[in-house]
């Protein structure tokens, strides 16, 4: 596995050399063979556990922990950083694109703030399942290459088995990365980081000077709008949309307290630490807008020496987020309902449908799947939607089924199924269900010959379900 360094030239204390801490008995639990082939990673089976636990470093590139800041539930922490993660370097895939390879749960770093730097097996398995599911749904996401059991106990409540996740990302450049340098007044570092992000993610930007960084912010906003619309299309709730968990690439990162919505409700929250509903399902667009505003603030020194002038140039981009999101959101609903465009009255039709979904506590995924298949005569329209469906059917045409089938998944990673698999790994270190389940999750718009209960919400509709930050 040939690795290259990526962030060491940004600034002092941005990428701090630090080695993973060795573990007692590394044991490979999960290996993403297809992803490994895509990334040209050829590692002997016998070496996978020791390399991707951090026990063996066979590279000339020094592992680093990255520094970043973050607004966590609205409160700014100027120095967060990788407290339990080590970036090994980047690999080049078959299309000559670079991908970061990071170990999570690989031990304490200079950014640990007193933590043990470890990860429990449950959150590791969750990230593997959820990131593969999101990839299958066609939503930009970080991926998991491997999960390795450490053979050690992680002291949580209660004590749990430890594990290390190998995360793959097109980059680990976060909104919090820019905040980190801005908080230090490091304008040179800010410029270097922005240029690196543009080179990696937005090479079409050719302008110079302030126009270059205004174009960068514009591109990041577009990616965030697209990402949040995709989350809401499938009922995904991130749960911890802090600025340190917002990648400027527009990829989903950090699957700690995430969950999928069953019954439709914009106020749905599962994260145990989100007591005010800041990151509820329906609040995600507002938070993405807020996070982009924090990026804009960090970019002020690159726009103009005159702060007032810089704010004047940046503000229209942030103020335009809501309208940009509204347009993308409207287009998303049109596709979910099989409309080949937007007409007067469609907004009212969508609003009426969502009211019915909430009033009758209908399952989000299965309702749209039933509506989709009803156009083929395969299923009946839910009785609670009978009156509404007359108006909806009048808006459909011969292209509607295909539009809806591409927008509405048949299968999502149901919370109770994911938890069941996690419990199996915690108990026995394996799951007889996972391989088949991942196969289905990688083709979520098709109805495969899989157990019927995979497609159904839990009996209790996750009434008392909670998620927790773990990795």
The secondary structure element, H or E, covering residue 64 is: strand 64-66
CA distances (Å), origin 188, targets 9, 176, 194, 289, 304: 11, 17, 10, 26, 14
Q: Which of 272, 263, 54, 88 is nearest to 172 (CA)?
A: 88
Q: Are the CB atoms for 257 and 270 separated by under 8 Å?
A: yes
Residues 240, 272: Cα–Cα separation, whole Å: 10
**pLDDT tens digit at each of 471 positions of the chain:** 899 999 999 999 999 999 999 999 999 999 999 999 999 999 999 999 999 999 998 888 999 999 999 999 999 999 999 999 999 999 999 999 999 999 999 999 999 988 899 999 999 999 999 999 999 999 999 999 999 999 999 988 889 999 999 999 999 999 999 999 999 999 999 999 999 999 999 999 999 999 999 999 999 999 999 999 999 999 999 999 999 999 999 999 999 999 999 999 999 999 999 989 999 999 999 999 999 999 999 999 999 999 999 999 999 999 999 999 999 999 999 999 999 988 999 999 999 999 999 999 999 999 999 999 999 999 999 999 999 999 999 999 999 999 999 999 999 999 999 999 999 999 999 999 999 999 999 999 999 888 999 999 999 999 999 998 864
Which of 100, 186, 244, 363 does the annotation list as catalytic? 244
> What's the pLDDT at 114?
84
Cross-strand pairs, 149: 27, 163
* Nearest residue to 173 (alpha-carbon basis) of 19, 74, 68: 68
Provide the 8-state DSSP code for 88: E
Helix 346-359 to helix 321-336 angle, to the nearest 10 degrees?
70
At residue 115's C-alpha, the angle toward residues 110 and 120, to 5°, is 120
The confidence score (pLDDT) of residue 470 equals 66
Q: What is the structure's pLDDT at 113?
A: 86
Q: In this predicted structure, what is the pLDDT of residue 1?
A: 86
| Tokens encoding 80 | 């967060």
pLDDT at 119: 96
For residue 244, indicate whether it is catalytic.
Answer: yes
Of 98, 104, 97, residue with least CA distance to 145:
104
End-to-end CA distance of the chain: 25
189 and 10 in contact (C-beta within 8 Å)? yes
Give the pLDDT of residue 156: 86
d(CA 392, CA 338): 9
Per-residue pLDDT, 469:
82
pTM of the complete model: 0.97
Yes or no: say if 109 and 65 are a contact pair by the CB < 8 Å rule: yes
């Amino acid at each position: 596995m040939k690795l290259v360094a990526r962030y060491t030239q940004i600034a002092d204390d941005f990428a701090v050399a630090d080695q993973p801490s060795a573990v007692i008995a590394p044991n490979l639990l999960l290996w993403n063979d297809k992803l490994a082939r895509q990334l040209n990673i050829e590692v002997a089976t016998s070496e996978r556990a020791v390399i991707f636990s951090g026990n063996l470093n066979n590279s000339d590139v020094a592992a680093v922990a990255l520094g970043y800041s973050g607004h966590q539930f609205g409160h700014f922490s100027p120095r967060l950083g990788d407290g339990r993660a080590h970036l090994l370097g980047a690999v080049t895939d078959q299309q000559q694109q670079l991908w970061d390879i990071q170990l999570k749960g690989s031990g304490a770093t200079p950014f640990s703030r007193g933590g043990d730097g470890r990860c429990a097996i449950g959150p590791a398995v969750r990230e593997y399942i959820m990131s593969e599911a999101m990839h299958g749904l066609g939503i930009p996401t970080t991926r998991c290459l491997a999960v390795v059991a450490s053979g050690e106990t992680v002291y949580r409540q209660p004590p749990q088995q430890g594990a290390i996740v190998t995360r793959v990302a097109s980059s680990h450049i976060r909104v919090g990365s820019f905040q980190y340098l801005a908080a230090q007044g490091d304008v040179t570092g800010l410029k270097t980081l922005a240029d690196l992000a543009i080179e990696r993610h937005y090479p079409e930007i050719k302008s110079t000077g302030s126009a270059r960084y205004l174009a960068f912010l514009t591109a990041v906003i577009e990616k965030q709008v697209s990402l949040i619309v995709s989350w809401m299309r499938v009922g995904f709730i991130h749960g911890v949309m802090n600025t340190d968990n917002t990648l400027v690439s527009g990829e989903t990162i950090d699957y700690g307290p995430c969950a999928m919505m069953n019954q439709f409700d914009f106020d749905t929250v599962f994260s145990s630490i989100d007591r005010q509903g800041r990151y509820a399902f329906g609040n995600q667009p507002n938070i993405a807008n807020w996070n982009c505003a924090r990026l804009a603030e960090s970019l002020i020194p690159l726009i103009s020496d005159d702060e007032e002038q810089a704010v004047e140039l940046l503000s229209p981009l942030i103020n335009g987020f809501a309208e940009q999101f509204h347009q993308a959101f409207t287009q998303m609903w049109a596709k979910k309902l099989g409309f080949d465009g937007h007409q007067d009255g469609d907004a009212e039709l969508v609003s009426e449908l969502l009211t019915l979904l909430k009033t009758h506590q209908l399952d989000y995924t299965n309702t749209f799947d039933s509506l989709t298949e009803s156009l083929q005569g395969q299923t009946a329209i839910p009785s609670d939607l009978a009156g509404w469906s007359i108006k909806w059917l009048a808006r459909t045409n011969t292209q509607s089924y295909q539009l809806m089938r591409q927008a509405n998944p048949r299968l999502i990673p149901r919370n109770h199924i994911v938890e069941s698999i996690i419990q199996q790994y915690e108990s026995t270190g394996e799951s007889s269900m996972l391989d088949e389940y991942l196969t289905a999750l990688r083709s979520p718009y098709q109805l495969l010959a899989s157990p019927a209960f995979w497609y159904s919400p839990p009996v209790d509709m996750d009434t008392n379900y909670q998620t927790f930050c773990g990795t």
